[in-house]
């Protein structure tokens, strides 16, 4: 293999993720076009994505990453980093710097939020890419090769002596049509196409996540993504990618992973028109807001093979929704779920407790709404004030330091209150017990065994070349989920105080 100029690395906490490393395959394809040789180091553990990664796993994956860097000897190493990954990424890059002669580049959401967290004195990180990485990364690599001044590159930060230099912001790519098709050939597609309940949430399928946009116009106070301007891929490119993936890798389904897919009604109908022209029909799902759909759209989505829609509901209290700046109403929520039931489209609803200034009445209203909307399944979490969110800035005091970021890497983070600064509610309910009670009440049977009467789904499974993998997964998943919920049941009924540690508001 030709020595890569840069190795793009999936952080160790993603070692069991079944979502393709989209940022890396887009970067790799762009760098190829720019004549910059590269490879992707995406080490995996053969484990279901719903099972947490432990410290021993992090260590194992980190060792494998370093071994491959030694073997391939790149000039640069690039990693994305979420806040939840900070305490795994920084020890890894320190080891890479000590053992390999490379320049280290960090990108991703945490880098965009707090670049200084990576550029402290004696940090192993050389450069931080802030914002979209394609153009910035290629310009940075070329400038380093030619000895050009780095201050002229927009969208980066680096140390110069005792000073942190942050250059002008990089403008967004407004025409996503300039991007080449993602470099799927650089990752292990056999791994990503194993049947999982992660593509269409909780429904067993083999497939991939696809993006048609970047950015989100919504202003939810619990979200750290500040990219309000939405940019769009040409729909013809998206449909060609789907068909190419079917022809070359035999995908059986896909999930549109846009923050909210149905922003433009005309665009959604055009997508379905192009999709219906394909010679082979695939089942698929997507996420959108309850205010973005109507009966005509639901009817056409069903015809085009959409079997599930995921909605960010979050609360059954209008007051709580307003405080979170969701921009939706209870009436819109109920109408969206009613339409989906009418046309036989599965629904997945995310809901949160411990929302900002939540009262006991807000909690009761949320549970009441869950009964009324009758979602096929629910994603239930306790609200986490992530770095960069409005609720973090408003409610978390004192602010977290780099040494505190380990709190965000707790695998139970969204199920307990791991730190008293994370208590956002205005009540003193037992939140860990509330979480388990609602989980057992509304999702127990679906979590253990999810089934659908959708004919297109069963036709997909019957025609699948992966039938053996489906059967194996169903058997193993049943045992695993039964164990998980037995543990939750024991926690819920425990009288000896041996429950998960949870801070309470005093």
For 32-54, the pLDDT digits (tens) are: 999 999 999 999 997 767 677 88
Distance between CA atoms of 412 and 418, rounded to whole angstroms? 8
pLDDT of residue 505: 52
- The arrangement of strands across the sheet holding 76-80 comes to 38-41, 6-9, 76-80, 103-107, 127-129, 156-160, 163-166
> How does pLDDT run across 275-324, given as a tens digit for each residue?
999 998 899 999 999 999 999 999 999 999 999 999 999 999 999 999 99
Distance between CA atoms of 66 and 14, rounded to whole angstroms? 16
- Would you say the pTM of this structure is higher than 0.85? yes
Q: Outline which parts of the chain fall under CATH 3.80.30.20.
A: 193-491
Q: Outline which parts of the chain fall under CATH 3.40.50.2300.
A: 6-166
The DSSP symbol for 418 reads -
- Is CATH 3.40.50.10150 the classification given to domain 6-166? no
Q: In this structure, which topology does domain 193-491 adopt according to CATH?
A: pyruvate-formate lyase- activating enzyme (3.80.30)
**Closest of 320, 328, 373 to residue 349, by C-alpha:** 373
Length of the chain measured in residues: 506
pLDDT tens over the chain, length 506 residues: 678 999 999 999 999 999 999 999 999 999 999 999 999 999 999 776 767 788 899 999 999 999 999 999 999 999 999 999 999 999 999 999 999 999 999 999 999 999 999 999 999 999 999 999 999 999 999 999 999 999 999 999 999 999 999 999 999 999 999 999 999 999 999 999 999 988 998 899 999 999 999 999 999 999 998 778 999 999 999 999 999 999 999 999 999 999 889 999 999 999 999 999 999 889 999 999 999 999 999 999 999 999 999 999 999 999 999 999 999 999 999 999 999 999 999 999 999 999 999 999 999 999 999 999 999 999 999 999 999 999 999 999 999 999 999 999 998 898 989 999 999 999 999 998 899 889 888 987 777 777 888 899 999 999 999 988 888 887 777 777 677 677 666 766 664 443 334 444 54
């Amino acid at each position: 293999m030709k020595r890569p100029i840069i190795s793009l690395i999936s952080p160790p906490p993603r070692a069991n993720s079944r979502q393709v490393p989209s940022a890396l395959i887009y970067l790799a394809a762009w760098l190829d076009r720019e004549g910059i040789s590269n490879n992707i180091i995406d080490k995996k553990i053969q484990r279901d994505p719903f099972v947490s990664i432990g410290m021993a796993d992090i260590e194992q994956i980190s060792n494998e990453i370093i071994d491959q860097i030694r073997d391939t000897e790149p000039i640069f190493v690039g990693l994305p980093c979420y806040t939840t990954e900070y305490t795994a990424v920084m020890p890894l890059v320190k080891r890479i710097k000590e053992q390999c002669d490379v320049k280290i580049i960090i990108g991703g959401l945490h880098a965009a939020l707090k670049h200084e967290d990576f550029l402290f004195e004696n940090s192993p990180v050389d450069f931080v890419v802030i914002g979209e990485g394609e153009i910035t990364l290629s310009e940075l690599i070329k400038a380093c090769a030619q000895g050009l001044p780095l201050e002229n590159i927009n969208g980066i930060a680096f140390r110069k002596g005792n000073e942190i230099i942050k250059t002008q912001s990089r403008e967004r790519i407004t025409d996503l049509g300039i991007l080449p098709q993602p470099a799927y050939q650089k990752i292990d597609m056999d791994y990503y196409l194993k049947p999982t309940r992660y593509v269409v949430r909780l429904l067993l399928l083999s497939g991939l996540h696809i993006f048609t946009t970047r950015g989100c116009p919504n202003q939810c106070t619990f979200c750290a993504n500040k990219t309000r301007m939405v940019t769009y891929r040409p729909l013809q490119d998206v449909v060609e990618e789907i068909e190419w993936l079917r022809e070359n890798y035999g995908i059986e389904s896909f999930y549109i992973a846009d923050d909210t897919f149905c922003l433009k009604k005309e665009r959604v109908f055009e997508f379905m028109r192009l999709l219906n022209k394909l010679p082979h029909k695939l089942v698929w799902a997507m996420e959108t807001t309850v205010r973005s759909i109507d009966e005509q759209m639901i009817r056409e989505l069903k015809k085009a093979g959409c079997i599930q829609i995921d909605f960010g509901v979050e609360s059954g209290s209008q007051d709580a929704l307003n405080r979170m700046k969701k921009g939706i109403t209870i009436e819109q929520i109920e109408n969206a779920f009613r339409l989906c039931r009418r046309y036989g489209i599965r629904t997945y609803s995310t809901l949160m407790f411990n929302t900002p200034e939540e009262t006991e009445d807000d909690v009761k209203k949320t549970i009441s709404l869950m009964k009324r909307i009758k979602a096929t399944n629910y994603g239930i979490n306790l609200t986490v004030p992530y770095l960069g969110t409005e609720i973090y800035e408003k409610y978390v005091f004192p602010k977290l330091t780099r040494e505190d970021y380990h709190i965000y890497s707790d695998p139970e983070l969204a199920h307990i209150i791991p730190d008293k600064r994370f208590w956002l509610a205005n009540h003193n309910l037992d939140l860990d017990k509330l979480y388990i009670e609602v989980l057992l009440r509304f999702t127990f049977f679906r979590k253990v065994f999810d089934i659908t009467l959708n004919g297109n789904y069963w036709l997909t499974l019957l025609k699948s070349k992966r039938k053996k993998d489906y059967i194996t997964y169903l058997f193993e998943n049943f045992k695993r989920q039964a164990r998980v919920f037995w543990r939750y049941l024991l926690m819920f009924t425990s009288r000896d105080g041996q429950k998960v540690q949870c801070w309470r508001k005093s």
